[in-house]
């Protein structure tokens, strides 16, 4: 269904939603949702544009520390939202929240800036769609869960694999029917190349508030390649590919197999093959074990050398007693044990229904149908007062597991997590690393103080 047709709808049924129709979920007579975007770069704009496709929306504010990114977003939003209004822009998310009081806030910042805006938005009475991983450290994630619960807000995490049509089809065909059988081992992996070389550092441009960009993170001098897309190469701002890629499929597998916290987490690896003059400080190699007892989930990351599975450089493979199920962003493939015909499914392509996806070239076309449905689930959850499919509490588990894997690698020991107390069992050194010290005047939020 095209967006122009959606706006003519009088109402939509829950059955339509369950069937996967990404535009039929609300009455056209609803007042537009007042939406604010914090982080106007790649996925921030992408998520906002998908929200405009599936709901009556009035974007009431855009916030970014890069003035040019804000100005670009204003032009695009004015073209896409039905009112054609040009929303005001902000360099400080707190001002956007106080002046505009949005119904919904989309947080699409670098990872180290996910926590503070999400907590502030909950306190301001907004529901939140926040990108993954939800936090840079474990304590931030616990604070975000506390804020959502204390203020009664709906918070959906951008784990759109949980809403991906072809992956849900694979679950229904092979997991729910028992064709895969009991799963005992899962391989998660990324064999993508590393971030490459960076030019020399230089002074930040006038349109970029680098001081606020770094924000609560430890200081790092500006480099022209860090912003807007390659900040993930730096530990100050991210948890590397473990926080970026492992977290997606770990979360999906947890969802499919109904898994909560693992018994223990252990990891080895580091920077093994990076050039000596590289300024990149995230690991290029890691093997992590998430021990669930009767299910072992292993993450293998290697950003160098030969890819052992060229067709699937990033994905998950579930090994069951009756077969093997491969899952990735573009297809799934089931091979029965002992031979038999391999069954395969492809991602849903909706470019004909949403040609504007191709007009906004940063849009990941394979992910667009999933993101629309994920946003739709978020909107239905906030409207009906129940948890969304990727609730902030689940987002915290998946994110914290990956953060703890990095911590295990750095400390050189296995970690056992106590979810009730929010601590690593019997390891005070690890517990001292659950919250990093914030820089400058920024104050780290704590779950008990929200």
319-360 pLDDT tens trace? 999 999 999 999 999 999 998 899 999 999 999 999 999 998
Above 80 in pLDDT, residue 2?
no
Q: What average pLDDT does this structure show over 69-85?
A: 96
Class of domain 167-354+396-449: alpha beta
Length of the chain: 450
CA distances from 156 to 84, 162, 214, 296 (A): 27, 11, 25, 27
Q: What is the mean pLDDT of the chain?
A: 93
Q: What is the mean pLDDT of residues 108-123?
A: 98
Is the pLDDT at 6 greater than 90, yes or no?
no
Cis bond before residue 337 (omega within 30° of 0) = no
Q: What are the CB-based long-range contacts (under 8 Å, 24+) for 69-78?
A: 69/40, 69/41, 69/228, 70/40, 72/40, 73/37, 73/40, 73/44, 73/45, 73/48, 76/45, 76/49, 76/360, 77/48, 77/52
For 15-68, how does the pLDDT look when each residue is reduced to its tens digit (9 = 90+)? 344 344 444 444 444 789 999 999 999 999 999 999 999 999 999 999 999 999
- Name the residue among 50, 43, 445 with its Cα closest to residue 232: 43
Q: Is the pLDDT of residue 14 over 50?
A: no
Which residue matches tokens 């077969």? 323
- What are residue 404's DSSP bridge partners? none
Given a cut of 90, whether residue 435 has pLDDT beyond it is yes
Confidence (pTM): 0.93
Cα-based torsion angle of the residue sequence 256, 262, 370, 235 in order, rounded to the nearest 10 degrees: -160
Position 1 pLDDT exceeds 70: no
CATH class label, 3-162+355-393: alpha beta
pLDDT at 4 over 70: no
Convert the pLDDT of each residue in 266-305 to its tens digit: 999 999 999 989 999 999 999 999 999 999 999 999 999 9
With 60 as the cut, is the pLDDT of residue 13 above it? no
Please report, rounded to a whole number, the percentage of residues in the chain having pLDDT higher than 70. Answer: 94
Question: For the chain, what are the domain ranges?
Answer: 3-162+355-393, 167-354+396-449
Phi-psi region of 268 (alpha: psi -120 to 50; beta: other; left: phi over 0): beta
pLDDT for res 450: 87
pLDDT band at 89 (very low <50, low <70, confident <90, very high): very high
| pLDDT above 60 (res 10) | no
pLDDT confidence of residue 148? 98
pLDDT tens for each residue of 177-217? 999 999 999 999 999 998 989 999 999 999 999 999 999 99
Token pair belonging to 260: 């909560």
- pLDDT for res 24: 44
448 versus 167: the higher-pLDDT residue is 167
Mean pLDDT, rounded, for 143-156: 98
């Amino acid at each position: 269904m095209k967006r122009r047709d959606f706006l003519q709808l009088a109402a939509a049924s829950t059955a339509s939603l369950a069937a996967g129709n990404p535009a039929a979920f609300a009455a056209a007579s609803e007042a537009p949702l007042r939406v604010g975007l914090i982080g106007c770069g790649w996925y921030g704009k992408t998520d906002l544009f998908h929200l405009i496709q599936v709901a009556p929306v009035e974007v009431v504010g855009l916030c970014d520390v890069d003035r040019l990114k804000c100005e670009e977003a204003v032009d695009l939003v004015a073209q896409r939202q039905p009112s054609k209004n040009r929303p005001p822009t902000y360099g400080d998310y707190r001002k956007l929240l106080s002046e505009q009081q949005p119904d919904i806030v989309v947080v699409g910042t670098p990872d180290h800036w996910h926590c503070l805006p999400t907590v502030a938005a909950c306190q301001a009475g907004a529901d939140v769609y926040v990108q993954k991983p939800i936090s840079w450290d474990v304590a931030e994630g616990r604070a975000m869960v506390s804020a959502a619960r204390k203020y009664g807000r709906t918070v959906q995490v951008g784990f759109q694999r949980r809403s991906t049509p072809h992956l849900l089809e694979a679950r229904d065909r092979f997991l729910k029917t028992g064709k895969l059988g009991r799963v005992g081992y899962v391989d998660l992996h990324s064999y993508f190349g590393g971030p490459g070389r960076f030019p020399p550092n230089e002074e930040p441009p006038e349109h970029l508030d680098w001081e606020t960009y770094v924000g609560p993170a430890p200081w790092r001098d500006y480099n022209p390649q860090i912003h807007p897309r390659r900040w993930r190469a730096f530990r100050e701002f991210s948890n590397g590919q473990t926080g970026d890629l492992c977290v997606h499929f770990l979360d999906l597998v947890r969802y499919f197999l109904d898994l909560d916290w693992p018994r223990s987490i252990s990891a080895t690896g580091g920077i093994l093959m990076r050039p000596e003059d590289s300024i990149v400080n995230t690991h290029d190699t890691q093997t992590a074990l998430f021990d669930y007892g009767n299910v072992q989930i292993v993450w293998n990351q290697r950003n160098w050398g030969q890819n052992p599975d060229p067709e699937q450089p990033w994905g998950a493979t579930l090994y069951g007693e009756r077969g093997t199920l491969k899952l990735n962003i573009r297809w799934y493939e089931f091979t029965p044990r002992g031979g038999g015909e391999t069954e395969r499914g492809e991602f849903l392509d909706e470019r004909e229904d949403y040609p504007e996806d191709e007009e906004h070239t940063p849009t990941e076309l394979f992910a667009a149908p999933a993101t629309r449905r994920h946003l739709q689930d978020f909107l239905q959850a906030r409207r009906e007062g129940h948890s969304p499919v990727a609730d902030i509490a689940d987002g915290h588990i998946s994110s914290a597991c990956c953060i703890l894997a990095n911590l295990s690698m750095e400390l050189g020991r296995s970690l056992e997590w106590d979810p009730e107390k929010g601590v690593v069992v019997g390891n005070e050194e690890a517990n001292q690393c659950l919250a990093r010290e914030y820089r400058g005047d920024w104050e780290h939020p704590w779950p008990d103080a929200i």
